[in-house]
Structure 1
Amino acid sequence: MHKYGFFRTAAAVPKLKLADCQYNINEIIALAAKAWEAGVEVLLFPELGITGYTCGDLFFQRELQNEAVAALDQLCQWSQGKKLLLVVGLPLVVGGSLYNCAATINDGKILGVVPKTYIPNYQEFYEKRWFASAKSLLQTEIKLCSQVVPIGTDLLFQHAKHEELVVGIEICEDLWVPISPGSFHALAGATVILNPSASNEVVGKSDYRRELIRSQSGRGNVAYLYTSAGFGESTSDLVFGGNAIICERGILLKELPKFNLGNELLIADIDVESLIHDRQMMHGFGDSFDLLKGHHYRTITFETPGTDNFERDVNPWPFVPGDLNRRSERCEEIFNIQTIGLATRLAHIGNAPMVVGISGGLDSTMALLVCVSVCDRFNIPRTKIHAVTMPGFGTTDRTYENAVALINGLGATFHEISIVAACQAHFKDIGHPPDLHNVTYENSQARERTQILMDLANKLGGIVIGTGDLSELALGWATYNGDHMSMYSVNASVPKTLIRYLVEWVADHSPEKAIQEILYDVLDTPVSPELLPPDAEGKIAQKTEETVGPYELHDFFMYQMVRHGFSPEKVYYLACRAFDGVYEKAVILKWLKNFYQRFFSQQFKRNCLPDGPKVGTVSFSPRGDWRMPSDAKATQWLKSLDAIKPIS
Structure 2
Amino acid sequence: MRLAGAALNQTPIDWQNNLRNICEAIQLAQDADVELLCLPELCLTGYGCEDLFLHDWLSETALLHLQQVRQCCTDPNMVVCVGLPVRLNGQTYNTACVIRNQEILGFAAKQFMANDGVHYEPRFFTSWRPGTTATFTFNGEEYTIGDLVFEHQGVRFGFEICEDAWRPASDRPAGRLKPRGVQLIVNPSASHFAMSKTDVRYQLVLKASRDYQVTYLYANLLGNEAGRITYDGEILIARNGQLITRNQLLSFKDVDLEFADVDFAVEPPVAADITPLPTPDEYRELNQALSLALFDYLRKARSKGFVLSLSGGADSCMCAVGVAELVRLGVLELGAEAFMRKVGTFTEDEIRFAVEYAQLPGAPLVGPESASDTGGRSQAVSHSAMQTTGSEKMTLNQQLTRRLLTCAYQGTVNSSDDTYLSAKDVADNIGAVFFSWDIDQEVKGYTGKIEHALGRELSWKTDDLTLQNIQARVRAPSIWMLANVLNCLLITTSNRSEAAVGYCTMDGDTAGSISPIAGVDKAFVKQWLVWAEAELGYYGLHRVNNLAPTAELRPLEDKQTDERDLMPYPLLNRIERLAFYERLSPQQVLTQLEGELNADIDPELLKTYVKRFYSLWSRNQWKRERYAPSFHLDDYNLDPRSWLRFPILSGGFAAELGAL
Normalising by structure 2, we get a TM-score of: 0.47
Q: Provide TM-score, normalisation by structure 1.
A: 0.47
